[in-house]
A and B are shown apart, each in its own frame.
Chain A
Amino acid sequence: MSKTINLTLKVWRQKGPEDKGHFETYEAKDISTDLSFLEMLDLVNEKITLEGKDPIAFDNDCREGICGMCGAMVNGIAHGPQKATTLCQLHMRHFEDGEIVVIEPWRARPFKIIKDLVVDRSPFDKIIQSGGYISVNTGSAPEANTIPVPAQKAELAMDAAACIGCGACVAACPNASAMLFVGAKISHLALLPQGRPEAAKRALSMLRKMDELGFGNCSNETECEAVCPKEISITNIARFNREYLKASFGSSEK
């Protein structure tokens, strides 16, 4: 049943990358528990706007948990307390009346803060550019059913491909490692026969790019898996490591 609650928000406000930033307190009153977290922020922003002040900036688009654009630390947890849920799909029924809610942007060295809760995740695009694809020009593809793919492999590939690139894994990791993000892409493509020809090259070059962009290494904290809204498994990191070892010692790729 829907009801209304009152919350106190402590929101990170930062004008730009050079600004130091600080927490600001807002009262969120009469919030229907049917609202999503972002709709709650919309309401707070309406009020801030009418007061003639600058509303809280936050990234969002699809609001159905698939575009990967939204995300913030809510009480210290990436995307908030509900498991396997993006911030836009988190609903206010999971909060208690009178609760204090602390909202911060992703904090990771490779993701610069643009404003308030908005960060720059373009390093993810750069990682994909370094090899997260299968090289096939339009028009050169063979008939789709010529290469059967065992259903189980296709399912595993799909599990990995479900990554939405939101960056929660990096934000949750004490090392700001992107191993889950990269592992998911490596796995998705390595599991499919279409992706095998470039598997070795891909593993080497994506890992190198990840290092170069300042992401840390994996030290098996498994924080990434815990916060992933798409429940991408850390077995993908293990598969990435195997692909990397195979490529380093068992292939002529450098």
Chain B
Amino acid sequence: MELDSRVPGGPLETKWERHCFELKLVSPANKRKFQIIVVGTGLAGASASATLAELGYNVKVFCIQDSPRRAHSIAAQGGINAAKNYAGDGDSIWRLFYDTIKGGDFRAREANVYRLAQISNNIIDQCVAQGVPFAREYGGLLANRSFGGAQVSRTFYARGQTGQQLLLGAYSAMMRQVSAGRIKVFPRREMLDLVVINGRARGVVTRNLITGAMESHAAHAVILATGGYGNAYYLSTNGMNSNVSAIWKAYKKGAFFANPSFVQIHPTCIPVHGTYQSKLTLMSESLRNDGRVWVPKKPGDKRPPEQIPEDERDYYLERKYPSFGNLVPRDVASRNAKEQCDAGKGVGPTGYAVYLDLRDAIQRDGEEVIRKKYGNLFQMYERITGENPYKTPMMIYPAVHYVMGGLWVDYDLMSTIAGLFVLGEANFSDHGANRLGASALMQGLADGYFIIPYTIGGYLAGTELPAVSEDHPAFLDSQKQAQETTRKLLSINGKRTVNDFHRELGHILWEYCGMTRNDEGMRKAKELIPELREQFWQNVIVPGSSEDFNQSLEKAGRVADFLEFAELLVEDALSRRESCGCHFNEAFQTKDHEALRNDEIGCYVAAWSYNGPGGKPSLHKEPLVFENVELVTRSYK
């Protein structure tokens, strides 16, 4: 199958405008005849649902939590980028575009990224109008701060709770449409299958997590905004319920999966403390604005940090990257932390941590100013570690955070299944091989507020969509299959818990396909994962029944999918014969241990298609063509 990204022609700056004009429109009176399904209520799903409902479409929204407001976008801390240039420091749409495409190590589509930068400014306007309480200067105008991978100040923020505030904005817009009767919300639902009829996405099958009942929902188009799959690694900064299942089911129905190995390991997380830890907590990258990262110069130096004199500290990021210093992009910061720890200079009880020290900033600006900027982060750190970061430097270590990979989509955000659109982290589209800080919120809201409302109209207006009812055999088939899986999971009655399997899978991925990768390790992972999967299906224990509230069953289904998906992740990593951004294969590095891209063979999006159970997935390459930027070696020195 030929992958057509459907990027419109013409100059970069006018592509989107022209495309919007060329897209067919659905007249206001006809919009109410269409039913749209949205799965997921994070920034992308909530903003899409609200906007589509405002336009007049009928929207059904599904989420796994008890309320749409709890989606994991809520946990995003640092901020959202926009090219407003309020700081007057030389920012522009072009610069935001360039920083993003360069930050992604030139593995994203030019046209998509440019559109994102263009839309960024509208997002801020929209959120302010909704009542998002962004930080302000004393004169009452909006404040900005800087973030990794940029030399301008373009990040808007609401303390360390930007994701929460943006999500509550989108959620409240959604709630307004619920009361207007245009949105129906189905909370505590898990999508079990995508229903495809005559090659088009026409609905979903869900499980009611309270009663266990299977439910079918038909629609004219389906939008997946189900977030990322970082939890494949067991320990990550994702919420406990974040999973790959919805997009994995879509993959098995014919949607291509793009760049699954592009997993962002975030440099500033609270280090792991023990085996029974359930998740990792991020400390916003914004701390790198004022914090300095260091380790002791001498390996194995176990003195407490305050006893290590200035000249025995190595501020390795400032030393190695004088122009970006502590604000290098995430992939670079993460690998450097690992390198220091591997060299025996790591600190803390496990030796897998580095210091993030705000001492100098506190001395310079005073504790009050720092408290105002980062108060809630410091509080969170203290809750978890029992240490006071105003007095002693924080300890941090990289952790799985965000995935750039996801379902393949074209310029209209439509997958390879007609009528299936994918938004936010669940798609692969804008961040290439590495996402810059404060860009995820921007992309989620751009997709939901400003892109899908146009492109879905183009699809609906230009497509013949005969009525489909929920007793169509395709729905019944999907239900039957889902019931069969559930029955199997409950009947194994083995000796190992779901968590135990999940932990082991996470360990395999982190060891062999994590921050640095090599062919030998990845081949090993390819052997270990199917073995573990087989054990799972023979020896897992899932208590309870399928006819009530059963969290063990929920989790078992998700881990079963992770066990399949993990193999594709490794396959993808192994097939890319270069290093780029987050993907660091030791065989491809410069003499300074930086990622060595190979633009001759590496300028492509890897899109994988499913070939049935046991079949080997096929790789399709979408070539990436750069007409407006020069492919340079990323340098943050």
* B160-168, B578-586, B600-608 - the one binding chain A: B160-168
Which residue of B72, B125, B380 contacts A142 across the interface (Cβ within 8 Å)?
B125
Q: B269-302 vs A: 1/0 string, CB under 8 Å?
A: 0000110111101100000000000000000000
On whether A150 and B140 interact (CB within 8 A), knowing A39-B277, A91-B384, A125-B67, the answer reads yes
Residues of A near B178 (CB, < 8 A) are: 125, 129
Which A-chain residue is minimally distant from B47 (CB atoms)?
Answer: A138
| A81 at the binding interface (Cβ < 8 Å) | no
Interface string of A54-73 (1 = CB under 8 A from B): 11010111111111110000
Residues of B with C-beta under 8 A to A139: 122, 126, 449-450
A51 to B551, CA, bound (A): 16
Residues in chain A near residue B159, CB distance under 8 A? 158, 162
B residues near A128, Cβ cutoff 8 Å: 171-172, 175
B273 close to A59 (CB less than 8 A): no
How far, in Å, is A16 (CB) from chain B's closest CB?
Answer: 7
Q: Determine the residue in chain B with the shortest Cβ distance to A31.
A: B276
- Contact (Cβ within 8 A) B133 A16: no
| CB–CB A133/B173 < 8 A | yes
| A57–B552 alpha-carbon span in the complex (Å) | 9
Task: Find B239's partner among A54, A61, A120, A148 (CB 8 Å cutoff).
Answer: A61
Q: How far is the CB of A57 from chain B (nearest CB, A)?
A: 6
- B386 near A91: Cβ-Cβ < 8 Å: yes
Q: A34-B273, A128-B172, A138-B51 are in contact. Are A91 and B129 (CB under 8 A)?
A: no
Give bound CA distance, A125 to B279, whole Å: 28
Chain B residues with CB below 8 A from A140, complex form: 129
Assuming the A-B contacts A52-B541, A132-B175, are A63 and B279 also in contact, with contact meaning beta carbons closer than 8 angstroms in the complex?
Answer: yes
Give the complex CA separation of A158 and B169 in angstroms.
13
Q: Which of A41-49, A214-222, A236-244 makes up part of the contact surface? A: A41-49
A62 to B70, CA, bound (A): 8
Closest B-chain residue to A65, C-beta based? B380
- The yes or no answer to B142 lying at the interface (CB within 8 A) is yes
Please tell me if the beta carbons of A144 and B84 are within 8 angstroms of each other in the complex: yes
Residue tally, chain A, CB below 8 Å to B: 80
Whether the Cβ atoms of A138 and B70 lie closer than 8 Å is: no
| B210 interface hit (Cβ, 8 Å) | yes
Is there contact, CB below 8 Å, between A62 and B551?
Answer: no
Is B549's CB under 8 angstroms from A39's CB? no
Question: In the complex, what distance in Å separates the CA atom of A115 from the CA atom of B548?
Answer: 9
Bound state CA distance, A161 and B379, in angstroms? 18
Q: When the two chains form their complex, are residues B70 and A68 in contact, meaning their CB atoms are under 8 A apart?
A: yes
Contact B179 A130 (CB under 8 A): yes
Q: Which residues of A from 68 to 126 have beta carbons under 8 Å from B?
A: 68-69, 82, 84-85, 89-91, 93, 114-115, 118, 120-122, 124-125
The smallest beta-carbon distance between A91 and chain B, in angstroms, is 7
For B125, the chain A residues whose CB sits under 8 A away are 141-144
Interface residues of B in 116-173 (CB under 8 A from A): 122, 124-131, 133-142, 158-159, 161, 163-165, 168, 171-173
Of B74, B141, B549, the contact of A57 (CB 8 Å cutoff) = B549
* A67–B75 touching, CB < 8 Å: yes
**How many Å lie between the Cα of A53 and that of B550 in the bound state?**
12
Contact of B176 with A42 in the complex, beta carbons under 8 Å: no
C-alpha spacing A151/B133, complex, angstroms: 10
A residues near B51, Cβ cutoff 8 Å: 137-138
A161 to B139, CA, bound (A): 21
B497 at interface (Cβ–Cβ under 8 A)? yes
**B 197-237 contacts with A by CB, 8 A:** 210
Give Cα A171–Cα B426 distance, bound, in whole angstroms: 36
B463 within 8 A of A: no
Q: Let me know if B12 is at the binding interface, CB within 8 A.
A: no
Complex interface: chain B residues within 8 A of A174 (CB): none
* Residue with the highest number of chain B CB atoms closer than 10 Å, among A64, A91, A144: A144
The answer to whether B240 has its CB under 8 Å from any CB of chain A is yes
Check if B276 sits within 8 Å of A39, measured CB to CB.
yes
* Interface assignment of B86: CB less than 8 Å from any CB of chain A: yes
Supposing A39-B276, A91-B383 touch, asked if A154 and B136 sit within 8 A by C-beta, the answer is yes
With A115-B548, A161-B133 as contacts: A61 and B240 at CB distance below 8 Å: yes
Residues of chain A with a CB closer than 8 A to B164's CB: 66, 162, 164
| Distance in Å: Cβ of B179 to nearest Cβ of chain A | 4
Asked, given contacts A49-B541, A125-B175, whether A66 binds B274 with beta carbons under 8 Å apart, the answer is no
Interface-facing stretch out of A175-183, A188-196, A245-253: A188-196
A66 touching B161, Cβ below 8 Å = yes
* Docked complex: B56-93 residues within 8 A CB-CB of A: 65-72, 74-75, 84, 86
Nearest Cβ in chain B — how far from A230, in angstroms?
9
Contact B175 A129 (CB under 8 A): yes
A-B contact pairs, 10 of them (CB 8 A): A42-B499, A69-B65, A69-B66, A114-B210, A134-B130, A138-B50, A138-B450, A143-B125, A148-B139, A148-B140
Mark A residues whose CB is within 8 Å of B. 2, 15-16, 32, 34-36, 38-39, 42-43, 46, 48-50, 52-55, 57, 59-69, 82, 84-85, 89-91, 93, 114-115, 118, 120-122, 124-125, 128-130, 132-145, 147-151, 154, 157-158, 161-162, 164-165, 188-189, 192, 194-195
